[in-house]
Structures are given as structure tokens and as C-alpha cells.
Structure 1
Amino acid sequence: MIPSAFDYAAPTTVEEALALLAGADASGDDVKLLAGGQSLIPVMKLRLADPSLVVDLGRIPGLSGITDNGSSLTIGAMTPHHVMATDPLIAAHVPLLSQAAATVADPQVRHRGTFGGALVHADPAGDMPAPALAMDAVFNITGPAGPRSVEAAGFFQGYFTTAVEEGEILTSITVPKFDGWGSHYEKFTRVAQQWSIVAVAALVRVEGGVIAEARLGLTNMASTPLRASATEAALAGCAVDAEAIAAACAHAAEGTDPASDLNGDAAYRRHLATVVARRAVLAAVGLQGTRG
């Protein structure tokens, strides 16, 4: 199928884009923002989205790129996944984002799709929301009332639903630096370039041979990304030992509500979560050779 006919606008400032959104809202028109288009265009072709106006954010300078703030990085919402996977600042200070971005789909999608677009799309199987949640990212949003910021814990609200309201634009994401932490994004799929059946974003800080702190984000284990809080608590004070880590990761599915679909039922996903969490943590602490 092809999309229905729609009007197209390509503003060159955030203010112009907001004005277009406000005008569409006032007239009752359905409007969609276009970032990389890797999620929007397919659903428009299926007529699952049928906007009368598409506002392309690609010509607005300042919505892409990485800024070093000292203790954090601010990443423009229009920054492509390919840049996320290869940028030296991200690799040095928040490598978990590099690792996750490198698993997104294929090279063509990574060059077109954007960090902010994937976050606002909020697909439960998407690879970028769980790392953002694990890192306590802050989402910077601009709307008619001006700028506001939303912490990751309150950003993802349901299936394909976030804290970005009608008439607002996600402009950037601020993430704290995790210098000295180990990290790994472990993704389980049946075939290459598939959406995650289950994935785990792991951040681990080791001191004196003991895990001092751990953060784990779960992909596709509920309608939103989740923190594996029981495993995080079990890992705190845990020896850097494969058996001890496996015991802690046995709690990874606690508090989750995974869906059942053609890729696996809920019980299968809960089992996978423990396996994938173990692999992610072992890799984060440098024990990849003991994976199972």
C-alpha cells in the first residue's frame, strides 16, 4: 500500500515547527512529526497512521549532535543511530548507548533512524529505550509553554506512549557519564536484524573485585522498558564470579509483564530474561568467556 495524500512542511526552526503543530491542532488536523521516518513511513504505508500534515524536523539545525557538559552529555534528538554507534564521546563516556545503537536493524536504518525518534516511538521491542532508562536519562522537551525536562522513570508511559504531549517536540536527551563502569547490551533474536525478543542493557561498577552498583534495563518485558530492580539489588555487593552473578540474575524477570506472540510466550520471555541478563552482566564485568 501507499500512504494517503498529505501535506508536507519542512521548518528550519523549532519555533516554526511548534507553530505548525499549533495550527494543525487548532484546525483539528492530524499531524505527525518526521524524524528519520523508519517507524512513521511503514505505518503510514499500512494506513495505521493517516496524517493530513507531516512536519519534517530534518532541516532544523541544532537538533542533532553531541554536547559535552562536563559530567553529562546532551544528545540531539535527531542524532542518527549510526552516529550514536560510532561517536568517540559516546564511546568514551556512555558506551552502553554505542553498543545498543550498533544492534539496531541494518546499516541503512541506522543511518536514517534517529535516537530521539526511536525514544518517542516507544516500541517495547525497540533497543534504545531500555539503555536510556538504565542510565536515568533526562528528556528535554519544547512546547507552547516553553522547555521542560522529564526524567526517564516518567517518560515511557505505555505502548507507543510517552510524556511528549500534543504540540510538543523532544529536542534532546541528557545522559550522565558512566566513566569507569562496565557496560553491555545483550539482545536475543531468532534472525539477524530482528526486533528484540528480549534484550538487557547492563551497567556495572566494580570496586575491589566486588560489584558496587548495577543498573539493568529490560527490553520487551512489558509495555514499557523496565529496570530489573530485584537483580540490581542482588548484584550489589556480589563477587565478580560467574555463579554468584547467575544467582543474582535469576531474579531478572521479577515484576515484569511480557507479551505472548509468535516469537514466544510470556513464560519463555521470563526465562530468556534471566539468561540474557546473566550474559549482559558477565560481559559488562569482563567475564564473557563464561557465558552460557
Structure 2
Amino acid sequence: MFPAEFDYERAESVSEGLDLLEQHADADVEILAGGHSLVPAMKTEGREPDVVVDLDVPALDAVNALDDRTVVGALTTYATVADSPAVRATVPLVAETASEVGDLQIRNRGTVGGNLAEAHPGADLPAAALASDATILLRNPDGKREVPVTDFFRGDGETAVERGELLTGVRFPHTDDAGVAYAKKTHPATGYAMVGVAAVVEMSGDGDDGTGGDGDEGTVSSARVAATGAVDRALRLPSVEDALAGEPLDPESIDAAAAEARADIDADRLRSDSYASGEFRGELLETYAARALERAAERVAGDAPTA
């Protein structure tokens, strides 16, 4: 199918993009930043913007690893993130999750900023961003704005990006000392996550002297666990995180924590479609929470490679 007619604008800088948004303030404007969500929606789902602003801004296609944080530009592709030595070394969960997105063609063209701004309820990267405690970087005519990722996702296709703003990048605190993992049940028709769970687990020393010298991996000092696909947005799972706190990351504590995966979600919020009922998604959520935590535990123990 062919999309409805629209006006096409191309921005070669962030400033030019903001100017175009202001110029078309009274129109229905969509940002093109890879196009693997927008173009199919325009062809088959009745999405009919008046104007498409194509971002062609080389400065937003970059990975910058600093002392304690890594900034990924909005136009950086999934493939670049998955293959980036800097991302793999400093925020390995993000590299691992990017490698799970779609297929090779999508990873070569789809972008980090486009994925997060689209806020599809089954997208992979939102879970990784939440578990990584990321910060979303925005630009508007008045300057820069930063939004904690916990405040960013508002619902299916809804985010904290305001009219006239552009998402320019994502800042990730370094998590290279943590156990991380992303476990996903892939939707058979779309490649999105039917359910996906991302985990970042930090450990203290052993329970005796805090040194870890006897080979004991110690107890969980911090855990961030986030899910995608289960409801209308990616979300943290605080009951799972609380159940892990102060516990060893062993099979018993993992099973007990994973069993809490549905504790913060009302049953009627669980998504249902022709492939999976809400109840089944709830069961998947517990299963994949356990799998993510098991892989994180293996990495804490050094028994499995990170991304």
C-alpha cells in the first residue's frame, strides 16, 4: 500500500529541525529517524501526517563514552550500539538488547532515538533504558531538557516529549561492574517482545567480611528490573527489585523474586492479542524475569560473557 500524501522536509542540524517544527506548529508533524516504525504505519495503519521531518544530522549519530556515563546520539543505529566496543564495555545491557531488536535490516537502519520516541509497548530498548537508569536528552527552542527515563514513557506511543521538542540522545550511567541480562519472548509476527525483561544487578561482598574473598558472590546491593511487552508501556518491577535486596543471587532468591513480577500490575492492564492473552503474558513475565536474573547471576559469577 501507499501512504497518503504529505509534505517532506529535511533537517541537517538540530536547530534546523526545531525551526521546521516551529514553522509547522499547526500541522500534524512526524519525525523520521530511521523509519522502521513510521513508514509501515503510514502504509498500512492509517497514520497520515501532514508533514514528515527527516532528521539527517550526523552529530546525532555518535557514541561518547565518558568517565562515568556513555551518551548515545538519537540517530545511532541499533547495529552501531550492538557492535560498539564502548557501549559493550560500559553499558553492556544496552548493547545486548540492541542486538535483539528485529532483524539485520532493522538493526542497520532503525535508531535509538526513534525507538524510544515511538514508545511501542513491545519495543526492546525501553526496558534496557529503564533498567540502566538512563536519562533522555531533549532539545527545544528554549534550550536543553533532561527527563529521567522513569518519567519518560506515558503509554502506547506516548512519551514526555513535548510538541516542538526533539529527542537528541540518551545518557547511560556505567554498569560495567554489574550483572546484566535481557531475556525476551519474541512476538512471532512482529519481532517485538511479546514479553521482555531487562535486569541490572549489583552485588556487595560476601556476608562475612565484605571482601568476597571466600568466593561467595555476596548479596544484592542494588537491582533494577524492567519489563516490556506486558502492558501499554515499558515499566520497572519494584516488587521484584525489593525481593532481591539483601539476598544472595541464588536459584531460590531468583525464583522468589520472579514470582513477584505481576505484583505491581493490575490484571486488566496486561496486554492481550491474537497471539497471547493477558494471563499468558503475566505468566511469561514471571518466566522471563527469572531467565534474565539467572543470566545476570551467571555474569556476576563470571560464568557467562556479557554482550
TM range (shorter): over 0.9
Pair 1:146 & 2:143 matched: yes
SS at match of 1:203: strand
State the distance in 1 between where 2:279 and 2:59 align: 44
- Within 5 Å, give how 1:35-50 maps onto structure 2: 35-46=33-44, 48-50=46-48
Q: Is the 8 A contact 1:4 1:47 kept in 2?
A: no
Conserved? CA contact 1:140–1:171, under 8 Å:
yes
TM-score by length of 2: 0.89
Partner residue, 2:211:
none
Match of 1:174 in 2: 171
Query: Residue 254 of structure 1: SS of its match in structure 2?
Result: coil
**Residue from 227, 230, 235 that aligns with 2:239:** 230
SS in 2 for 1:131: helix
- The answer for unaligned runs of 5 or more in structure 2 is 207-216
Taking a change above 3 Å as real, the CA distance of residues 20 and 254 of structure 1, as seen in their structure-2 partners, is: same
Aligned to 1:253: 262
Q: Give runs of ≥4 in structure 1 deviating > 6 Å.
A: none
Q: Secondary structure at the match of 1:197?
A: strand
Q: Greater CA deviation, 100-109 or 267-276?
A: 267-276
- In terms of mean alpha carbon deviation, does 96-105 or 186-195 score higher? 186-195
1:110-125 matches, within 5 Å, as 110-125=107-122
How many residue pairs get aligned? The number is 286
Residue 58 of structure 2 corresponds to: 61
Distance in 2, matches of 1:249 and 1:165, equals: 35
**Is contact 2:92–2:176 with CA below 8 Å preserved after alignment?**
no
Q: Does the residue aligned with 2:12 lie in a helix, a strand or coil?
A: coil
> Residues 188 and 23 from structure 1, CA distance in 2 versus in 1: closer, same or farther, beyond 3 angstroms?
same
Shift of 1:11: 1.7
Helix, strand or coil at the partner of 1:199: strand
- Aligned pairs for 1:97-116 within 5 A: 97-116=94-113
Q: Distance in 1 between matches of 2:297 and 2:69?
A: 23
CA shift for structure 1 position 178: 0.6
Query: Does residue 289 of structure 2 align to residue 277 of structure 1?
Result: yes
Task: State the Cα deviation string for residues 84-135 of structure 1 (Å, max 9, x = none).
Answer: 1110111001010011111111000000000010000000100011111111
Conserved 8 A contact 1:104-1:193: no
Q: Distance in 2 between matches of 1:102 and 1:186?
A: 12
- The residue identity in structure 2 corresponding to 1:117 is G
Counterpart in the other structure of 1:8: 8
Instruction: For 1:15-94, list aligned pairs within 5 A.
Output: 15-25=15-25, 28-46=26-44, 48-57=46-55, 59-94=56-91
| Shift in Å, 1:281 | 0.3
Whether the 8 Å CA contact 1:184–1:202 is kept in 2: the answer is: yes
The answer (yes or no) to whether the contact 1:103–1:193 under 8 Å persists in 2 is: no
1:24-55, CA deviations, whole angstroms, 9 ceiling, x for partnerless residues? Answer: 11xx3222110000000001112522122211
Q: Kindly state the Cα deviation for residue 211 of structure 1 after the two structures are TM-superposed.
A: 2.1
- Paired AA for residue 216 in structure 1: V
The question of whether the paired residues in 2 share the 8 Å contact of 1:135 and 1:175 is answered with yes
Alignment check: 8 A CA contact 2:65 2:87 kept: no
Query: Partner of 2:209 in structure 1?
Result: none
Q: In the alignment, which residue of structure 2 is the partner of 1:240?
A: 249
The answer to whether the aligner puts 1:185 opposite 2:182 as a matched pair is yes
Name which of 219, 229, 245 aligns with 2:228: 219
Is contact 2:250–2:297 with CA below 8 Å preserved after alignment?
Answer: no
Q: Which amino acid aligns with 1:258?
A: L
Query: Counterparts of 2:284 and 2:64 in 1: how far apart (Å)?
Result: 36
CA distance in 2, matches of 1:161, 1:248: 29
8 Å contact from structure 1 (residues 216, 228) kept in 2:
yes
Counterpart for residue 202 of structure 2: 205
Contact 1:130 1:201 in 2 (8 A): yes
Question: Structure 2: how far apart are the matches of 1:150 and 1:194?
Answer: 28
Q: Structure 1 252/109 Cα, relative in aligned 2: closer, same or farther at 3 Å?
A: same
SS in structure 2 of the partner of residue 50 of structure 1: coil
Match for 2:234: what amino acid? P
Alignment RMSD, CA only?
A: 1.7
Alignment partner of 2:59: what SS? Answer: coil
State the shift of 1:82 in Å: 0.3
Query: 2:134 maps to which residue?
Result: 137
Q: Which amino acid aligns with 1:55?
A: V
| Aligned residues with identical type, % of pairs | 38
Give, in whole Å, the separation in 1 of the partners of 2:277 and 2:250.
31
